[in-house]
Structure 1
Amino acid sequence: MIEYRLNCDADPTDYLTVDKDGGDLEFFAHRGGGSFLVSIYPTVDAARTFARGILALADEIDGGEAKEEPKPAAVRVGDRFTVTRSFLEWAHVRAGDVVTVVEFVDDDSGDFRAVIEGGSSHRWLFGPENIGNGLEPLGTRVTADEPATVTDPRLTYFHQAEAALAEFEHTAADIIALARFLAGE
Structure 2
Amino acid sequence: MTEHIARCLHDSNDTIRTYIVGDHVFLRAHIGGDHGTVALEAVDARVFARGILALADKIDGGAAEETPAEKPIKVGDCIRVITTGSAGALVKAGETFTVRKVTDWDVQVDGDGAHDRWYLNHEDVEKVVDEATATLADSRPKVGDRLRVTEDNPRCCPVVTGDVITVVETDYDHDGEDCVRFLHGDDSYRWIIPLTAVEKAPTLADANTSPESYRASLLEQARKYVDPTATAAELLAVARFIAGESA
What TM-score, normalized to structure 1?
Answer: 0.35
Tell which structure's C-alpha radius of gyration is larger: 1
**Could you tell me the TM-score, scaled by structure 2's length?**
0.28
Greater strand fraction, Structure 1 or Structure 2: 2
Looking at both structures, which has the greater relative contact order when contacts are Cα pairs under 8 Å and sequence separation is at least 6? 1
